[in-house]
A and B are shown apart, each in its own frame.
Chain A
Amino acid sequence: MILLHAFHAEWLKRKRSSASALVIAGSLFTPAIVAVVRLIHYKGLPAIYAADSFWPKLWRASWESMAVFFLPLGAMLATSLITQIEFRSNAWKQVHTLPVSTAVIFLSKLAVIVVMLVQFLLLFNAGIYVSAMLPSLLVPGVPHPKGSFFSLPLLRENALYFAAALPIVAAQYLMALRSNNVLVPIGVGFMAWVGALAAVSSNFATWWPYSYTTIHYLRDTPKGAHFAAYTSLHWAAVGSFLLLSAVSYGLFVTKTDRG
């Protein structure tokens, strides 16, 4: 029960925060670009909208930038910014003098970040749907897209991307809890993401949690054919998340200076 109240309190802290704005902007950016580009180049739309593969193609196209860029960077930035609220507000000392256990403090904040990740994916899905429907509503002659958005394996795909992003959340959470300077987790996270981009051409990337969302996207493409046999990616992601979270909690609970 106290965990629920603590979660509610943490959820309130993210109101009007830059992390909340980032979740909205990051999740809707690609769909917005897709919609704008289609509205500008509307002449070829009737053929595209009449194709049987309309939804799978839009889904893949939208996920390309999301899997490689927005999802890992969004998870990295949102986690760092949410955690840094306490440092920026000089509030760790207040948090640690509340009548709750250290585990509740740790878990409630992590839970808020995880829920924000879900929110990010939900908004992105809604954005894809709206980006598809807008041209058919606004441009005369563009038919309603063939097939249904809901025929896509939405739940499975979102769950797999969600799992693939979890290690980034855990790693960033660990760093952000340790450093009172927001630039440290963001800087290290950015370098880790660049390292992931460099690593995806080889199988070493499977050892690098920052590359999991990219691998998940690439393995159905010729570029990522070498990952096709790597079926335990999401278990590795969940395992890394749990391991990093456990290390993070261990460091958090043994901290001698609490604000």
Chain B
Amino acid sequence: MIVETANIHHRFGHHDVLGGVSMQVPAGSIYGFLGPNGAGKTTTLRLILGLLKPQRGEVSIFGKRFDRHRIGILKNVGSMIESPSLYDHLTAAENLRVLQLIHRCPESRIQEVLELVGLGDTGRKRAKQFSLGMRQRLGIAAALLHRPSLLILDEPTNGLDPNGIIEIRNLLIELNRGHGCTILVSSHLLTEIEKIATHVGILGRGELLFQGTIEKLRRHRQQVLSVRVSTSDNAAALQTITQHGIEARLDEGEIVLPALTGERIAALNRRLTMRNLDVYEIRTVRHDLESMFLNLVSE
């Protein structure tokens, strides 16, 4: 595991923010850290990076205890927590130069990462003149500057336009697949995480409600929840269906049935057509990830 938290707790005053989070981020993964606003995602990431001291529990990165190997670990970690940290009176290149002096990476890397995030031609423009999207890109460039093997990004697509979101998404995928960089990325948007993550952790009310591969989450999604039927005479069709012992009801102009096997759906279709009812549509309703996410965090 690249990142491992063992039962970390955190409380602000009398309010428990995290109640024992044990997160495991495998090497080479893109770990999507999901949760609604206020769930404790940022607090967890700040604890992982040592910006907050854990009140209970342990954080390990690259297999080493963070509190004992802080400097060695941070040499290989790039991060952006909440909004980007930018010196408004400096240009994009100067902002990166401040970090390059500490990381001791080649100076040529500054222009390289600026090009990578699409800020290669900002020249003498100061950061205070940057749009929200440009600031976000510069924050990501700062995190990438020293070629970290672990990237921790907190809501990196905030403030980006759809095109910018796609670019950052592709950049993260490229960093992960092309350079083997492990990425821990938080978001409150499931659709966003679903497109890039190999692993997912869902945080709700300070607890990890789900953790596993994206396939595991998708398998859950494949489960058929219900069958919806639309015919030329739904009232007559409903009567036919219930006569055959299937619980059904009308909902928004459709007949809603519980999950059925393929054979039973075919038999039902034959029965309806034999009653001279025109069947317009029979469709299965599966787990929608969004509703599943909402169910998890609201349970």
- Chain A interface (Cβ within 8 Å of chain B)? 2, 5-6, 8-9, 12-13, 15-17, 85, 88-101, 256-259
Contact = CB atoms under 8 A, between A and B. Distances in A.
Contacts of A16: 89-90, 126
Given A15-B89, A89-B87, A89-B88, A256 B99 contact: no
A13 B87 contact: yes
A85 B88 CA distance: 9
A98 B90 contact: no
A94 B81 CA distance: 8
Contacts of B250: none
A15 B93 CA distance: 13
Nearest to A86: B85
A8 B101 contact: yes
Nearest to B53: A256
Given A5-B104, A9-B101, A97 B50 contact: yes
Nearest to B102: A98
29 contacts: A9-B98, A12-B94, A13-B87, A13-B90, A15-B89, A15-B94, A85-B87, A88-B88, A89-B88, A90-B83, A91-B85, A93-B82, A94-B142, A95-B85, A96-B51, A97-B77, A98-B74, A98-B102, A99-B71, A99-B72, A99-B74, A99-B75, A100-B71, A100-B102, A101-B71, A256-B52, A257-B52, A258-B50, A258-B51
Contact of A94 (B50, B53, B85, B90): B85
Interface of B: 46, 49-53, 71-72, 74-75, 77, 79, 81-90, 94, 97-99, 101-104, 126, 142
A256 B11 CA distance: 12
Contacts, number: 83
A21 to B, nearest CB: 10
Given A15-B94, A97-B51, A256-B52, A5 B46 contact: no
A78 to B, nearest CB: 15
A87 to B, nearest CB: 11
B53 to A, nearest CB: 5
Closest 10 CB pairs of A and B: A94-B85, A91-B85, A99-B74, A9-B101, A99-B75, A16-B89, A9-B98, A258-B51, A99-B71, A89-B87
Contact of A89 (B49, B52, B86, B126): B86
Which residue among A6, A85, A91, A95 has the maximum number of chain B CB atoms within 10 Å of its CB? A91
B194 to A, nearest CB: 28
Contacts of B50: 96-97, 258
Contacts of B90: 12-13, 15-16
Contacts of A89: 85-88
A17 B126 CA distance: 12
Contact of A90 (B79, B85, B97, B104): B85
Contacts of B142: 94
Nearest to A10: B98
B127 to A, nearest CB: 9
Given A97-B81, A100-B71, 4 more contacts: A13-B90, A99-B102, A256-B53, A258-B51
A16 B95 CA distance: 13
Contacts of A94: 85, 99, 142
A17 B89 CA distance: 7
A93 B139 CA distance: 12
Contacts of A9: 97-99, 101-102
Contact of B52 (A12, A92, A258): A258
A97 B49 contact: yes
A207 to B, nearest CB: 37
B52 to A, nearest CB: 6
A16 B102 CA distance: 21
A98 B85 contact: no
B233 to A, nearest CB: 63
A8 B49 CA distance: 24
Residue among B75, B102, B103, B104 having the largest count of chain A Cβ atoms under 10 Å:
B102
Nearest to A102: B70
A259 B97 contact: no
A180 to B, nearest CB: 14
A168 B79 CA distance: 35
A100 B71 CA distance: 6
Contacts of A6: 101-102
Nearest to B98: A9
A166 to B, nearest CB: 26
